[in-house]
A and B are shown apart, each in its own frame.
Chain A
Amino acid sequence: MSHKSDQGQGRSTSTSASTSASTSAAALDTGAFKRRSGAAAASNRLFDIFVWAAGICIILFILGLLFMLLRKGLPMLTWDFLTGLPSEIEEGGGIGPALFNSFYILFLSLAISIPLGMAAGIYLAEFAPDNRFIGFIRICVEGLSSVPSIIFGLFGISLFVDMFHLDLTILGGAVSLAFLNLPMLTRVTEESLRAVPPELKNASLALGSTHLQTIVRTLIPVASSGIVTGICLTAGRAFGESAVIILTAGVTTSGSLWDFNLLSPGETLAVHLWYVQSEAIVPDAGDIAQKATAVLIAVVLLINLTFRVPLWIRARNMKR
């Protein structure tokens, strides 16, 4: 009896401790047990409080830091700042070309990496026989996804600047960024395709469609939500990527807002933030950096939220 009640205490962490246990016949043995379980209950309670306090504090601390950045920067944003040209010496420079380049390079890199990454992912999920060759490719994909981003930058330099004798260009930046995205897209595609129930594939094949038709008309539509989510998360990461762009696309823009030329220098917003904060000599560098940070966080959060909210809603519906 006394054992049972002690157990109950330990589990529920309630401190109505010694009441029920003391009523039972208390041998010496049970007393020692009680003292020990009392200590355990106390440490348990302490642990609870500690974890709660630490967890809440740390999460609030990080969120608070981000919130501070947004609160300082967002109210100062004006349309002129978003579309204005950056200036090297005078106050009042904008981020127009950098913002444009961010989206332009992102678009180009995705245009290169999505077809390649998806094709590789389809191969791994659909065509690949289970042998050493596939294990090898899989290790390559994993290895590539662990390569630090600055290495892609170095690779981009030696490819585009040293071998093709181009200068720092939008093209170089986009291709290097595409290499960075490639392994992530491959993995997302493979995982989404593997998650498609095999009945669907069998049904499609049984209706007489070829493998290609099955993939294009059945598997990809079913897996599309996973693939699209993966693409958007990759896009969010690529949008904020800066080390690759500094090395391959440079820290300057061509100076006009709508510059689609692939061979002009292509500083992006993330790079501009770094440049303004640590290299530039404009007097209002601090202000520009603050506003640029706010824009950067806002865009990345927006990209993330837009494609995660449907996922959360679906997950919630699935649970019910």
Chain B
Amino acid sequence: MLEMNAQGRVIAPAELGNSLRQAGGNPLERRVRLKFLNSTFKIVCVSAAVFVCLVLFGILFLMFKTGMMTFETVSFKEFFFSANWDPENGHYGALLFIFGTFALTGLTLILSVPISVLIAIFLAEVTPSWLRGALRPVMDLLVGIPSVVYGYLGLTILIPMLREITGRDLADGLLAAAIVLTIMVLPTIARISDDAISAVPKKFRDASYALGSTRFQTIFRVVLPAAKRGIVYAVILGMARAIGETMAVVMVIGNTPQLADSLFMPTAVLTSNIVMQITSVESDSTWNYALYLMGFLLLAISLLLIVAVRMLQKKGEKAL
């Protein structure tokens, strides 16, 4: 387009050029200006995109650099394989937090996946369309509720309830946290699985029905296997949310650095320990470095999950 402009200017009679110049609209100037704006805009956009990458690498680098300083005073073995977290006396065993995070995530998944998939089936296959139209937006709204509200809900309603049921004085711990997280990730997993189930082509169902199977058989032997990839994707996203969740967990897990051997024992996970201790430590102490190293672990886990999601997507593209 710009070339055309240039040609036009050459062909145009000198008078036109003059009048334009007199009117203050120098065509050359305009062309230069447009070109300048275009290229500047492109540079701005590129640098914004590069900036996004820089943020990620900045975070990775800072976490890694600060975290690695832990190993100047603490041995690798102690950090990963000792469950004795007592920074005041120089013990930095983070095993209990790592174990707590994995146990909590596992427990959350055990509770939430069956329920979420059930709700997804309910939404996608069983409900009449008017109810579906009302319930889907409600689930979307639930996704947007702040996590601290779920934590508050667990603290004020769930824990007293658990206390009554179990008859213990303290109900803080893995189970309470897992239930709160389940309530929190349930809408996410259910909605994405719901989309995956709805995306299964109708012909699959028709074929299954034509072979004489009931709805139950159709759902479990045809629809769910066909939607498996989408459901796994949903579960991984829910898992990432559960691993990184902080405030909801902090409020119900009890925040005591001890290895949990029962579901009702106050314990701590990576996120909750970071948020409870980071504000009160010196910025150049081993304690601080250890907290950063725990942050780096979290970061590594969630990035690995994303790699898993991408590989899943790639595999799906190939299968299609």
Q: Which residues of A contact B (CB under 8 A)?
A: 3, 6-7, 10-11, 13, 37, 40-41, 43-44, 47-48, 51-52, 54-55, 58-59, 62-63, 65-66, 68-69, 115-117, 119-120, 122-124, 126-128, 136-137, 139-144, 146-155, 157-159, 161-162, 179, 182-183, 186, 205, 208-213, 215, 233, 236-237, 239-243, 246-247, 250, 270-271, 273-274, 277-278, 286, 289, 293, 296-297, 300-301, 304-305, 308, 312
Is the pair A240, B145 in contact by a Cβ cutoff of 8 Å? yes
Q: Which residues of B contact A66 (CB under 8 A)?
A: 142, 145, 149, 153
Would you mind naming 20 contact pairs between A and B with Cβ atoms under 8 Å apart?
A: A3-B212, A48-B126, A59-B139, A65-B157, A66-B149, A123-B42, A126-B45, A139-B306, A140-B53, A143-B306, A148-B302, A150-B274, A151-B299, A209-B1, A212-B37, A242-B146, A293-B152, A297-B145, A297-B149, A301-B144
Instruction: Tell me if B56 and A123 are in contact (CB < 8 A).
Output: no
Asked whether, in the complex, the Cβ of B246 is within 8 Å of the Cβ of A243, the reply is yes
Known: A149-B244, A150-B295. A210 touches B137 (CB 8 A): no
CA distance A7 to B208 in the complex (A): 11
Contact yes or no, A150 B271, CB < 8 A: yes
Besides the contacts A242-B147, A274-B251, what 16 more A-B pairs have beta carbons closer than 8 Å?
A: A10-B212, A10-B213, A51-B122, A55-B118, A123-B49, A137-B49, A137-B52, A148-B299, A148-B302, A154-B292, A242-B246, A274-B148, A277-B156, A278-B155, A289-B156, A304-B144
Would you give the shortest CB distance from A136 to chain B, in whole angstroms? 7
Give B38 Cβ to nearest chain A Cβ, in Å: 5
Known: A140-B52, A157-B278, A243-B247. A273 touches B152 (CB 8 A): yes
Residues in A with CB closer than 8 Å to B121 are: 51
Give CA–CA (A242, B150) in the complex, Å.
12
Nearest B residue to A52 via CB reads B126
Assembly CA distance A155 to B54 (angstroms): 13
Known contacts A40-B214, A154-B63; is A120 also within 8 Å of B152 by CB? no
- How distant is A160 from chain B, measured CB to nearest CB, in Å? 12
The answer to whether A142 and B306 have CB atoms under 8 Å apart is yes
Indicate which residue in B37, B126, B145, B246 contacts A51 across the interface (CB closer than 8 Å).
B126
Asked, given contacts A51-B118, A144-B56, whether A122 binds B45 with beta carbons under 8 Å apart, the answer is yes
Interface status of B141 (Cβ within 8 A of chain A): yes
Of the four ranges (under 10, 10 to 19, 20 to 34, 35 or more), the interface on chain B belongs to 35 or more
* Contact A123 B38, CB 8 Å, known A51-B126, A52-B122, A150-B274: no
